[in-house]
Chain A
Amino acid sequence: MHVYLTLLRRELGSYFMSLTGYVVITSVLLLLGVSLMDVLNKLNADPTELPLTEFFYITLYFWMVLLLTAPVITMRSFALEKFSGTYETLMTAPVSDLQVVLAKFSGALVFFLITWIPLLVYLVVLHYYADLNPATLTAPLVASTFLGILLIGSLYMAMGCFASSLTGSQIIAAAISYGLGLTLFLVSLRTMVSMPSTGLEAKVFAHLSMIDHMREFARGEIDSRWVIYFVSLTIFFLFLTLRVVESRRWK
Chain B
Amino acid sequence: MTETIIEVSHLTKRYAGHRAITDISFSVARGQIVGLLGPNGAGKSTTMRILSCFLPASSGTAIVAGHDVFRDADEVRRRIGYMPENNPLPTDMRVREYLKFRARLKGLSRIQSRERVDTVIDQCGLEEVGKKVIAHLSKGYRQRVGLADALVHEPELIILDEPTIGLDPNQIRAVRQLIKDLGKQHTILISTHILPEVEMTCSRVIILHKGRILASDSTENLQRKIFQGGPVIAEISAPLPELSECWANLDIIQHADVSPLDGEYHRCSLTPQNGVDLRPVVFEQVQRHGWTLRELTRGKHTLEEIFVKVIRGDKEEEERL
Chain B residues within an 8 Å CB radius of A250: 56
When chains A and B are docked, how far (Å) is the Cα of A96 from the Cα of B56?
Answer: 15
A6 contacts B104, C-beta separation under 8 Å: yes
B170-214 interface mask toward A, CB cutoff 8 Å, 1 = contact, 0 = none? 000000000000000000000000000000000000000000000
Interfacial residues, chain B to chain A (CB-CB below 8 A): 49, 52-56, 74, 77-78, 80, 82-84, 86, 88-93, 101-102, 104-107, 149
- B-chain residues with CB within 8 Å of residue A13 when the two chains form the complex: 93
Choose from A7, A14, A17, A92 the contact partner of B52 (Cβ within 8 Å). Answer: A92
Q: Is the CB of A85 within 8 A of B88?
A: yes
Q: How far is the CB of A152 from chain B (nearest CB, A)?
A: 29
| CA of A17 to CA of B93, assembled, Å | 8
Contact status B84-A93, CB under 8 Å: no
Q: Which residues of B contact A3 (CB under 8 A)?
A: 104-105, 107
State how many angstroms separate the Cβ of A87 from the closest Cβ of chain B: 8
Interface presence of A46 (CB below 8 A): no
Question: Does A94 lie within 8 Å of B84, measured CB to CB?
Answer: no
CB distance from A153 to the nearest CB of B (A): 24
Q: Which residues of A contact B89 (CB under 8 A)?
A: 86, 89
Given contacts A94-B106, A95-B105, contact A249 B56 (CB under 8 A): yes
- Decide: B74 and A84 in contact? CB cutoff 8 A: no
Of A18, A85, A90, A248, the contact of B92 (CB 8 Å cutoff): A18
Instruction: Give the Cβ gap from A117 to chain B, nearest Cβ, in Å.
Output: 23
Chain A nearest CB, measured from B13 CB (Å): 11
Give 7 closest A-B pairs by Cβ, nearest first: A85-B88, A94-B77, A6-B104, A17-B92, A88-B84, A94-B78, A92-B52
Give the distance to chain A from B288, nearest Cβ to Cβ, in Å. 60
- Chain A residues with CB below 8 A from B149, complex form: 89
A2 within 8 A of B: yes
Question: Could you tell me the distance between the alpha carbons of A16 and B101 in the complex, rounded to whole angstroms?
Answer: 16
Closest to B86 in A: A85
Nearest Cβ distance between residue A98 and chain B, in whole angstroms? 12
Q: Which residues of B contact A95 (CB under 8 A)?
A: 105
User: What is the bound-complex CA distance between A249 and B107, given in angstroms?
Assistant: 23
Alpha-carbon gap, A90 to B89, bound state (A)? 10
Q: Quick check: B91 and A10 within 8 Å, CB to CB?
A: no
* Interface residues on chain A, number (Cβ under 8 Å): 25
Contact status of A14 and B92, CB under 8 A, knowing A89-B149, A96-B74 = yes
Nearest residue, chain B, Cβ from A96: B74
Whether A85 contacts B102 by the Cβ 8 Å rule is no
Evaluate contact between B105 and A93: CB separation under 8 angstroms. yes
Q: A residues within 8 A CB of B102?
A: 89, 93
- A90 neighbours in B (Cβ, 8 Å): 105
B100: nearest chain-A partner, CB-CB? A6
Query: Which residues of chain B come closer than 8 Å to A87, judged between CB atoms?
Result: 88
Q: Is A91 an interface residue (CB 8 A)?
A: yes
Enumerate 22 A-B pairs (CB-CB under 8 Å) in ascending A order.
A2-B104, A3-B104, A3-B105, A6-B104, A6-B105, A10-B101, A14-B92, A17-B92, A18-B92, A84-B88, A85-B86, A85-B88, A86-B88, A88-B49, A88-B84, A89-B88, A89-B89, A92-B84, A93-B77, A93-B105, A93-B106, A94-B74
- Complex CA gap A93/B84 in Å reads 12
The residues of A that contact B101 with a CB separation of less than 8 Å are 6, 10
Nearest A-chain residue to B98, judged by Cβ: A10
- 8 other A-B residue contacts (CB within 8 Å) besides A10-B101, A86-B89, A89-B88: A2-B104, A3-B104, A6-B101, A84-B88, A92-B52, A92-B53, A92-B77, A93-B102
Q: How far is the CB of B74 from chain A (nearest CB, A)?
A: 5
Q: Give the contacting residue for A86; candidates B52, B80, B90, B104; CB below 8 A.
A: B90
A248 & B53 in contact (Cβ 8 Å cutoff): no
Say whether B106 contacts A89, CB under 8 Å. no
Chain B residue at smallest Cβ distance from A86: B88
Nearest chain A residue, comparing its CB with the CB of B97: A13
A2: chain B residues at CB < 8 Å are 104
Chain B residue at minimal CB-CB distance from A88 = B84
Please measure, in the bound complex, the distance between the C-alpha atom of A84 and the C-alpha atom of B89, giving whole angstroms. Answer: 8
**A88 touches which of B77, B88, B91, B107 (Cβ 8 Å):** B88
Chain A residues with CB below 8 A from B107, complex form: 3, 94
A86 to B84 Cα, complex, angstroms: 9
Contact: B90 with A14, CB < 8 Å? yes
Interface 0/1 of A14-26, CB less than 8 Å to B: 1001100000000
A88-117 vs B, CB cutoff 8 Å, 1 = contact: the mask equals 111111111000000000000000000000
